[in-house]
Structure 1
Amino acid sequence: MLPPMQRLPQARELIEMDRYFVLHAPRQTGKTTALRTMASELTAEGGTAALMFSCERAKSAGDDYAAAEEILLKSLREAAKRSGWPDELLPPDPWPQAPAGTRFSAALTEWCHRCPRRVVLFLDEIDALQGNSMVSILSQLRDGHNARHERHPFPTSVVLCGLRDVRDYKVASGGDPGRSNPASPFNIIAESLRLGDFTADQITELYDQHTQATGQAFTKDAVDRVFELTQGQPWLVNALAYEIILQLGVTSAITAGQVEDAKERLIRKRAMHLDALVARLHEPRVKRVMEPVVAGSFPDIDATFSDDLSYVRDLGLIKQKPPLEVANPIYREVILRVLGDPSEQYVMADPRSFVLPDGRFDLDRLLEEFVVFWREHGEVLIRQEGYHEAACQIILMAFLHRLVNGGGQLDREYAAGTKRLDVLVRWPYTGPDGERLMQREAMELKVWRTNENDPTPDGLAQLDRYLDRLTLTTGVLVIFDRRPQAPPWKERGGFEQATTPSGRQVTVLRV
């Protein structure tokens, strides 16, 4: 693992300044490990009793703040006992008696009064607290913070750690995220830190630790591919290495090709982290941000959109900075596979029937089969699709995934405002002399919506740029007609040839 202080240099500074602050990051980025290590290091230095404990069990208390206090104090005591501290550092047993709504602060005050060291608390999974319970606990922290002095001791520094920024805690407890309220329990927060993803150099450092321990190296191409696929998301960085070394059993130097194999296995298995992430896709706040990303359209921005955007960023689903796009290629692939899964169940064609005698993939036949599929099922599937604005793209992706992913791979690129989705089919096959070759087929997906001009000219120009980037000479432009005046469903699916601005001959499919 990477040293926590290296990833969070500001945290130590704020603790030394006796500040209360928020540390937030998506799940599986190393928050808990970093805080646990930081607490151990601070305590080992001798002047601080630093303790991390989880608020997760208090989620069951809901609005019952008395029950939440009981659960949190029990979790705190258990964490202190596990720490191996000497008796003089441990919290009092039993806790002092106090009315509900004040027990948590009274307990912390009594502990700080007895403890010969300054007390620092890390409240992990703070966003597990709900409604009144969250307001009560944070109010008690605020009151203790404001009243702390020698005769009224209280933790010198408190770190609230969770998925969300403090701005979202205000929303969760019914507060106004945009206003400063002197009576608010949130105005004690000095800073809000975000634990970032790994840089390319940090991935190299992490993997070098494995090399030093075992002698097994990662090639530079492999490390570069890991960064490209994960954009440094810590769980993915570790999961790819785990998949290669322990699941695939690779014992030689690790290559970019093995990283690619591990990525496919990881996506197919839909590991717990990925499942937990995509389970959020149909939350209204998440869907509001993600639907235009998948559809390539512009989001409907109003006064609440920035809060929803911050929430989805805090979940780690999209990049931290514009443009509005999915955080990394692995998430991008998983999201479309999950959204397309219901449509994929309608695809009855045999994937093996699309393999030509020479081993290449028959893309022309696939497109013809899609026309038949679209005429028969398209109208129903569009009505059923929860991401209605992106339904056409999701359905075609499901069709492609069902028929390509058995022997080949799909790369997809999409982002809000682009008005397109780019697809690259990669199909490995054996050449006539036994050499390993790769067939590549590029597609551009566009939607013709009501009150818009025919997107064909823009689509041809966009496909041209995509083919330039891929160094391909031809491709396919698919245009979905979603206007009320579109042809009847049984008549959709016409093919034509067209010329791009640079002179490439490409196929246009109108469905």
Structure 2
Amino acid sequence: MLPPTPRLPEARALIDMDRYFVVHAPRQTGKTTALRTLASELTAEGEVAALVFSCERAKVARDDVGWGESMLLDSIRAAARRSGWPDELLPPDPWPQATPGSRIDVALSEWCRRSPRRVVLFFDEIDALQGDSLISFLCQLRDGHNARPEGHPFPTSVILCGLRDVRDYKTAVGADPGRCNPTSPFNIVTESLRLGDFTADQIAELYDQHTQATGQEFTKDAIDRVFELTQGQPWLVNAIAHEITFNMGVTGAIVSEQVEDAKERLIRARATHLDALAARLHEPRVKRVMEPIVAGAHYTDRHITDDLSYARDLGLITQKPPPQVANPIYREVILRVLGDLTEQNIHADPHSFVLPDGRFDLARLLEEFVVFWREHGEVLIQQEGYHEAACQIILMAFLHRLVNGGGYLDREYAAGTKRLDVLIRWPHTGPDGERLIQREAMELKVWRAGENDPKPEGLAQLDRYLDRLTLTTGVLVIFDRRPEAPPWKDRGSFEQATTPSGRQVTVLRG
């Protein structure tokens, strides 16, 4: 485990300044561990009683303010008892009686009045609070915070920890001007603190702890591949290493090929973390963000900013523009989940696409896709929830079904690019027994109503993609979504074309 507190260097300074603030990060990134370590360090210094506790049990209360308050106060007391603190630091038992809607304020005030130390509280899993319970809680925190200069005893520092940034707590209380502005105590910085992903050096440091403990080494290529696949997402970094060392039972030095195998096993198993990601895809706020990313389309709704912030807080997309999926593993999971319906309709045998020399028969795959597209495309497009990205999702599902048995698919897509790039990597054995990798590149474009033929733009984009991959040829797929598109029975024509740099490529019009 990496030392937690260096991952939140600003938090200690803000607590020393008696500030109220938010720490947010996606699930399973180490938030709770970091907070517990920080609270233990603060308490051990002797001037502060710092306590971390979960708000999760209060989720069931929703709009029942009194029940929500009881749940929160019970969680505080239970966490304090588990801490092993001396009696003089523990909260009052019982809590003082108060009217529902003011019990948090009254209870915390009485605790702070009695405590010989400054009280610092970490409200972990704050996202669990919903409805009127959340509104009442935030308003009470605001009132207690603002009354401190008048001598009102109250926690000197409060940290809300969850998935969301402070702006989403403001959204949670609605726009009713009659309600209080509960976020004002938390406006201490332009951005609330975000627990970041691991750097490549931190992954190496983490894995080196395993090497020191067991003697088993992660090669530099393996570490680089882990960072490339995960972009440092902490749960993925740990899950891949656990999959290799425990479930796969690898005993020697760990290499990049085993990282690739572990990634595939995690995705196939739909581990809890990845299952939670999949469940998010059909939330309206997430769909509004993800559909243009998969389709390569531009955002046209000026209200998308809040949805983008929400998706970033969940860790689904990159923190900086242009919006794209946070890491290659998520990219693969998203397209697999969205393409599941299509995969159920694919009956071709993946083994039949392997040539006698062990290479993959891409030309035959494209021909088989044309047959599939003519027969099922129209129905699948109508049934696809991500309607604007339906063509990309269907082809990706077809490729995944027939390639992933013995090869790998690398996908690149982002909002505003007007394309989806695909690289097929197919391992095979050469005539002299050497291990070779066949690489085939494809680019997907969509011809929409009112637009010009995207072929010239697609050839230029494919040219740049092939140049980056150092490949001499590729495939451009153009899906026609115009009302005047040819009948479905006539779709799927092939032609040869030349890119601006002179590469010969195949164009498939669907």
Q: TM-score, normalised by structure 1?
A: 0.97
**For residue 187 of structure 1, what is the aligned residue in structure 2?**
184
Give the residue type in structure 2 aligned to 1:126: I
**For residue 137 of structure 2, what is the aligned residue in structure 1?**
137
Give the residue type in structure 1 aligned to 2:225: R
Give the residue type in structure 2 aligned to 1:43: T
Matches within 5 A, 1:476-491: 476-491=475-490
Q: Distance in 1 between matches of 2:181 and 2:469?
A: 54
Task: After superposing the two structures, state which structure 1 stretch, 19-28 or 191-200, moved more.
Answer: 191-200
Q: Distance in 1 between matches of 2:230 and 2:458?
A: 29
Give the residue type in structure 2 aligned to 1:78: A
Give the residue type in structure 1 aligned to 2:185: I
**For residue 256 of structure 1, what is the aligned residue in structure 2?**
256
| CA shift for structure 1 position 175 | 3.4
1:423-462 Cα offsets, whole Å, 9 max, x none, are: 1111111122221111111111010000101011111111
| CA shift for structure 1 position 182 | 10
**For residue 467 of structure 2, what is the aligned residue in structure 1?**
468
| CA shift for structure 1 position 301 | 2.7
**For residue 394 of structure 1, what is the aligned residue in structure 2?**
393
| CA shift for structure 1 position 389 | 0.5
| CA shift for structure 1 position 183 | 4.2
**For residue 306 of structure 1, what is the aligned residue in structure 2?**
305
1:321-345 Cα offsets, whole Å, 9 max, x none, are: 0111111111111111111011110
**For residue 494 of structure 1, what is the aligned residue in structure 2?**
493
Q: Distance in 2 between matches of 1:149 and 1:447?
A: 61
Q: Distance in 2 between matches of 1:142 and 1:427?
A: 59
Q: Secondary structure at the match of 1:32?
A: helix
Q: Distance in 1 between matches of 2:354 and 2:180?
A: 69
**For residue 49 of structure 1, what is the aligned residue in structure 2?**
49
| CA shift for structure 1 position 384 | 0.4
**For residue 173 of structure 1, what is the aligned residue in structure 2?**
173
**For residue 434 of structure 1, what is the aligned residue in structure 2?**
433
Does residue 1:341 correspond to 2:305, yes or no? no
Task: After superposing the two structures, state which structure 1 stretch, 121-130 or 215-224, moved more.
Answer: 215-224
Give the residue type in structure 2 aligned to 1:52: V
Give the residue type in structure 2 aligned to 1:500: T
Matches within 5 A, 1:213-362: 213-302=213-302, 304-362=303-361
1:242-278 Cα offsets, whole Å, 9 max, x none, are: 1111111122222112111111111111110111112
1:97-120 Cα offsets, whole Å, 9 max, x none, are: 111011111111111122211110
| CA shift for structure 1 position 4 | 2.1
Q: Secondary structure at the match of 1:412?
A: strand
Give the residue type in structure 1 aligned to 2:466: L
| CA shift for structure 1 position 151 | 5.2
Alignment check: 8 A CA contact 2:170 2:181 kept: no
Matches within 5 A, 1:9-48: 9-48=9-48
| CA shift for structure 1 position 402 | 0.7
Give the residue type in structure 1 aligned to 2:109: T
| CA shift for structure 1 position 409 | 0.8
Does residue 1:109 correspond to 2:109, yes or no? yes
Q: Distance in 1 between matches of 2:202 and 2:215?
A: 19
Question: For residues 145 and 491 of structure 1, do their structure 2 counterparts lie closer, same or farther at Cα, with a shift above 3 Å needed?
Answer: same
Q: Distance in 1 between matches of 2:180 and 2:460?
A: 57
Give the residue type in structure 2 aligned to 1:75: S
Q: TM-score, normalised by structure 2?
A: 0.97
**For residue 381 of structure 1, what is the aligned residue in structure 2?**
380
Q: Distance in 1 between matches of 2:3 and 2:481?
A: 53
Alignment check: 8 A CA contact 1:24 1:194 kept: yes
**For residue 503 of structure 2, what is the aligned residue in structure 1?**
504
1:190-249 Cα offsets, whole Å, 9 max, x none, are: 231111111111112211222222222211111111111111111111111111111111
**For residue 208 of structure 1, what is the aligned residue in structure 2?**
208
RMSD over aligned Cα atoms? 1.4
Q: Secondary structure at the match of 1:188?
A: helix
Q: Distance in 1 between matches of 2:3 and 2:334?
A: 32
Does residue 1:62 correspond to 2:59, yes or no? no
Q: Distance in 2 between matches of 1:324 and 1:165?
A: 18
Question: For residues 298 and 149 of structure 1, do their structure 2 counterparts lie closer, same or farther at Cα, with a shift above 3 Å needed?
Answer: closer
Q: Secondary structure at the match of 2:427?
A: strand
Q: Secondary structure at the match of 1:279?
A: helix
Unaligned stretches of 5+ residues in structure 1: none
Q: Secondary structure at the match of 2:184?
A: coil
Identical aligned residues as a percent = 79
Q: Distance in 2 between matches of 1:389 and 1:305?
A: 16
| CA shift for structure 1 position 148 | 2.3
Q: Secondary structure at the match of 1:413?
A: strand
Q: Secondary structure at the match of 1:442?
A: strand
Q: Distance in 2 between matches of 1:183 and 1:341?
A: 45
Q: Distance in 2 between matches of 1:469 and 1:305?
A: 32
Q: Distance in 1 between matches of 2:208 and 2:175?
A: 46
| CA shift for structure 1 position 92 | 1.2
Matches within 5 A, 1:71-150: 71-148=71-148
Q: Distance in 2 between matches of 1:421 and 1:287?
A: 18
| CA shift for structure 1 position 152 | 3.0
1:37-89 Cα offsets, whole Å, 9 max, x none, are: 11111111111110001111111111111110011111111111111111111
Q: Distance in 1 between matches of 2:210 and 2:87?
A: 38
Give the residue type in structure 2 aligned to 1:26: P
Q: Distance in 2 between matches of 1:275 and 1:183?
A: 37
Matches within 5 A, 1:401-412: 401-412=400-411
Give the residue type in structure 1 aligned to 2:371: V
Q: Distance in 1 between matches of 2:428 and 2:8?
A: 47
Alignment check: 8 A CA contact 1:130 1:173 kept: no
| CA shift for structure 1 position 91 | 1.0
1:348-400 Cα offsets, whole Å, 9 max, x none, are: 11111111111111111111111110011000000000100000000000011
1:397-427 Cα offsets, whole Å, 9 max, x none, are: 0011111111111000000111110111111
